Amino acid sequence: MNGTPAAPTPVVLGIDDLRPLPQATRIARTSGEGVQLLLEHRDAFIDELWLDHDLGGDDSIMPVVTLLEEAAFNGRPFDIGAILVHSANPIGAETVVRSLTYWNYHVRRATA
């Protein structure tokens, strides 16, 4: 034993209906699950949040985006190191990036 504490495991959350996202520590498959997942981590630092725009059928990431926007609007944004948008829907992905960038979240397009 060397007495050095282990580094904490990074919190990497993913919201995607299909992709496995092996880097994620937790995955939500619907927008409702995504909102719940974020609320469970409300007062914790989230290292990375991976978002897909289209979540199957009529579901999309927009309820999650709204939650993040409202938190920022109310002066208490979620503490997230990076938000990565990995959607195959370029218009939807750009909407998410633009919306969250406006509220000073660190967000960018990425490939999952």
Q: How confident is the model at residue 2 (pLDDT cuts 50, 70, 90)?
A: low
Residue 105 within any structural domain of the chain:
yes
| Angstrom distance (rounded) from CA 30 to CA 34 | 6
Quote the DSSP letter at residue 109.
E
Q: How confident is the model at residue 8 (pLDDT cuts 50, 70, 90)?
A: confident
Residue 6 within any structural domain of the chain:
no
Could you report the per-residue pLDDT of 64-77, keeping only the tens digit for each? 999 999 999 999 99
pTM: 0.90
Residue 100 within any structural domain of the chain:
yes
Residue 5 within any structural domain of the chain:
no
- C-beta atoms surrounding 15 within 10 Å: 25
**39 vs 32, 35, 44, 66, 92, CA distance in Å?**
11, 6, 10, 13, 23
Q: How confident is the model at residue 22 (pLDDT cuts 50, 70, 90)?
A: confident
Please name which of 66, 68, 72 lies closest in space to residue 83, comparing C-alpha atoms: 68
Could you report the per-residue pLDDT of 27-80, keeping only the tens digit for each? 999 999 999 999 999 999 999 999 999 999 999 999 999 999 999 999 999 999
CATH number at residue 38: 3.40.50
Total domains in the chain come to: 1
Residue 61 within any structural domain of the chain:
yes
> Does the structure show a pLDDT above 60 at 12?
yes
Residue 75 within any structural domain of the chain:
yes
Enclosing domain of residue 40? 12-109
